[in-house]
């Protein structure tokens, strides 16, 4: 644990140094300071783990002692202990709610403890007052009583214990002893579905992801346990359920984590139902029964209606993949009608095998085209499973499947070759031609064009082989370069010089008849010019005498002459 903490601190310090938050000289000092501060926390976590393990061992010892002396305890004492456990569980729930700690670690721990207290209290009551020695009669009250605590505490751990109890109850044959049969399982599972909307309203994405995985796996496990008690394999209901769950995942944003289990588990279940329909033994069971139970027919109809509604409402941009998977229940339903009508031909087997082959090729092509390793692996697994089924069951000739695989391989190779030739041709045309981009809006003076980044984005269209093998696509690389170019602060490197006003006067062009010939002129115009000039004078001519003006005498206010006169 100590080495792990030191390694984590080293990664944090290296990240800070890479971001420029730390100088290289202060890196070691900061790392030593963090190690000194984290040491008490590591010791505290070790003490907490030791205390938890010790408390668990002490509890096991107390339970062992109680089992040895349980029959000597009075019934009143047993009932008092059961009531105390129930009150402890309810008091813990009330304390967490009063502190407003719902959806925290404290709430998760309290949810588990409340469920354990409920199990112990029901066990005490069941042993004191007999109501049946079966495990089904013991688990069902615990499941019903512990369900409200999940909503009050927003406890995912309590939900996990609830789902485990439902699966345990189903595996022990609880559906065979209940009046509702398998409907009881689906009712119990549907009681936990509003918890999804509660977490979505609170915005707890991590708990939503855990809920999605746990609930999806629980639903398919419960379907498998219920199908084990039936006389036939209900792969039509499985296909409808899988398509509905997958389309539910497609209605969620592709970037959200809680939609992933719906999509992928739905894909696997739909392909599994189609694979089962390729086996002749599965159709014999459907042909031998007298008829389907009304509950199975009603559930299948509801799932098909929900599938159509989800497809119309949620699927907007991604069409082909949901459409191909949504056709699977329709194909199996048509085959079921043929088999129930007494048409014992190999047509359903051929149709299922062909459609399964199409689904495998589609997943491989989608994974290769979009550089998605998950889809590629799923397609390869589908093709391998189909080949194994054909070899084992011999629905069709194995040589037919080998020929089909060879054709798919040759087609994929030809497509890859064509794409490579097109990319090389595009590179040659790019070097031979000059492309001019005309923008509708000119760049502002405060922005500059990042030419090198644009060239790198063009060169990124043709990636090396090692990058394509590692799952790096040209589109993802171009998006990364665009983000990097947007993050770079654009500055003005060249300041334009202000334009000077020109003093150029354009010439005046006259008609040819207005221009006089050499030695000639227009007499009228010459006379007008002479009259306008007036009499010219020589600059050396004597000037005219100016008239003398009488000067007025002005007395100074400070003068004394006027005072003497007075």
- Give the DSSP letter string of 128-154: HS-S-SSHHHHHHHHHHHHHHHHHHHT
Phi, psi angle pair for 502, to nearest 5°: -90, 140
Regions in the chain scoring below 50 on pLDDT: 1, 443, 445-447, 449-451, 566
- DSSP code of residue 556: -
Distance CA 238, CA 340 (A): 18
What is the reported pLDDT for 537? Answer: 59
Distance CA 257, CA 191 (A): 23
Question: Which of these, 176, 382, 389, 180, lies nearest to 280 by C-alpha position?
Answer: 389
What is the reported pLDDT for 447? Answer: 47
Are 140 and 128 in contact by the 8 Å Cβ rule? The answer is no
Are 136 and 117 in contact by the 8 Å Cβ rule? The answer is no
First to last CA, the chain: 126
Distance CA 53, CA 304 (A): 50
> Exposure pattern of 267-303 as b/e (b: 16+ CB <10 Å)?
bebbbbbbbbbbbeebbeebeeeeebeeebeebbeeb
- The residue whose two tokens read 């665009």 is 482
Count of H-run helices and E-run strands, the chain? 22, 0
Domain boundaries, the chain: 1-68
> Exposure pattern of 138-167 as b/e (b: 16+ CB <10 Å)?
bbbbbbebbbebbbbbbbbbbbbbbbebbb
What is the reported pLDDT for 427? Answer: 65
> Exposure pattern of 225-253 as b/e (b: 16+ CB <10 Å)?
bbeeeeebbbbbbbbbbbbbbbbbbbebe
Q: Show the tokens assigned to 227.
A: 């199908």
Q: Show the tokens assigned to 330.
A: 């329709």
Q: Show the tokens assigned to 70.
A: 């349980």
Question: Which of these, 236, 218, 478, lies nearest to 333 by C-alpha position?
Answer: 236
What is the reported pLDDT for 449? Answer: 47
Distance CA 314, CA 317 (A): 9
Distance CA 145, CA 164 (A): 15
Q: Show the tokens assigned to 528.
A: 């007008």
Angle, helices 194-202/205-227, rounded to nearest 10 degrees: 170
Cβ neighbours for 246, distance < 8 A, ≥ 6 positions apart? 262, 263, 265, 266, 267, 270, 322, 325
Are 12 and 34 in contact by the 8 Å Cβ rule? The answer is yes
Task: List alpha helices for 228-346, DSSP H.
Answer: 235-250, 260-276, 280-288, 294-314, 320-340
3-state SS assignment for residue 510: coil
Are 212 and 261 in contact by the 8 Å Cβ rule? The answer is yes
Are 161 and 119 in contact by the 8 Å Cβ rule? The answer is no
Cβ neighbours for 60, distance < 8 A, ≥ 6 positions apart? none
The rounded radius of gyration (Å) of the Cα atoms in the chain is 45
What is the reported pLDDT for 126? Answer: 76
Cβ neighbours for 286, distance < 8 A, ≥ 6 positions apart? 232, 233, 336, 339, 340
Distance CA 427, CA 429 (A): 5
What is the reported pLDDT for 72? Answer: 78
Phi, psi angle pair for 128, to nearest 5°: -85, -45
């Amino acid at each position: 644990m100590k080495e792990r903490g030191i390694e984590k601190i080293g990664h944090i310090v290296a990240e800070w140094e890479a971001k420029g938050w730390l100088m290289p000289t202060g890196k070691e000092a900061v790392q030593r300071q963090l190690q000194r501060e984290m040491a008490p926390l590591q010791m505290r976590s070790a003490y907490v783990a030791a205390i938890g393990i010790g408390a668990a061992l002490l509890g096991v010892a107390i339970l062992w002692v109680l089992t040895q002396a349980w029959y000597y305890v009075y019934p009143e004492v047993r009932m008092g202990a059961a009531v105390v456990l129930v009150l402890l569980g309810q008091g813990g729930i009330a304390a967490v709610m009063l502190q407003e700690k719902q959806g925290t670690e404290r709430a998760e721990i309290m949810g588990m403890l409340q469920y354990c207290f409920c199990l112990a209290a029901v066990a005490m009551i069941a042993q004191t007052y007999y109501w049946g020695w079966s495990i089904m009669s013991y688990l069902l009250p615990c499941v019903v009583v512990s369900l409200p605590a999940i909503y009050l505490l927003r406890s995912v751990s309590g939900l996990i214990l609830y789902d485990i109890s439902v699966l345990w109850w189903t595996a022990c044959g609880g559906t065979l002893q209940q009046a509702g049969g398998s409907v009881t399982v689906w009712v119990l599972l549907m009681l936990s579905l509003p918890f999804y909307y509660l977490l979505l309203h609170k915005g707890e994405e991590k708990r939503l992801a855990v809920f999605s995985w746990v609930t999806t796996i629980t639903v398919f496990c419960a379907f498998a346990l219920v199908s084990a008690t039936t006389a036939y394999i209900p792969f039509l209901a499985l296909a409808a359920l899988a398509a509905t769950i997958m389309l539910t995942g497609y209605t969620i944003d592709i970037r959200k984590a809680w939609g992933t289990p719906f999509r992928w588990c739905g894909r696997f279940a739909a392909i599994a139902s189609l694979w089962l329909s390729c086996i002749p033994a599965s159709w014999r069971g459907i042909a031998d029964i007298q008829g389907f139970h009304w509950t199975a027919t009603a559930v299948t109809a509801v799932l098909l209606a929900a599938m159509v509604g989800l497809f119309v409402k949620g699927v907007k941009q991604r069409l082909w993949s949901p459409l191909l998977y949504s056709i699977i229940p329709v194909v199996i339903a048509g085959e079921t009608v043929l088999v129930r009508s007494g048409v014992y031909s190999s047509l359903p087997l051929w149709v299922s095998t062909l459609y399964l082959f199409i689904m495998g090729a589609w997943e491989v092509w989608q994974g290769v085209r979009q550089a998605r390793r998950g889809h590629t692996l799923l397609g390869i697994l589908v093709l391998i499973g189909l080949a194994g089924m054909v070899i084992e069951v011999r629905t069709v000739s194995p040589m037919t499947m080998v020929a089909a695989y060879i054709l798919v391989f040759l087609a994929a190779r030809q497509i890859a070759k064509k794409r490579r030739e097109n990319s090389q041709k595009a590179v040659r045309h790019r070097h031979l031609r000059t492309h001019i981009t005309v923008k509708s809006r000119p760049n502002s003076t405060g922005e500059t064009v990042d030419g090198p980044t644009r060239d790198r984005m063009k060169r990124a269209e043709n990636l090396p082989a090692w990058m394509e093998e590692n799952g790096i696509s040209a589109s993802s690389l171009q998006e990364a370069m665009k983000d990097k170019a947007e993050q770079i602060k654009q500055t003005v490197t060249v300041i334009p010089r202000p334009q000077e006003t020109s003093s150029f006067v354009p010439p005046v062009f006259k008609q040819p008849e207005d221009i006089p010939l050499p030695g000639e002129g227009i007499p009228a115009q010459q006379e007008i010019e002479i009259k306008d000039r007036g009499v010219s004078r020589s600059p050396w001519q004597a000037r005219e005498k100016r008239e003398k003006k009488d000067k007025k005498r002005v007395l100074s206010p400070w003068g004394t002459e006027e005072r003497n006169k007075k």
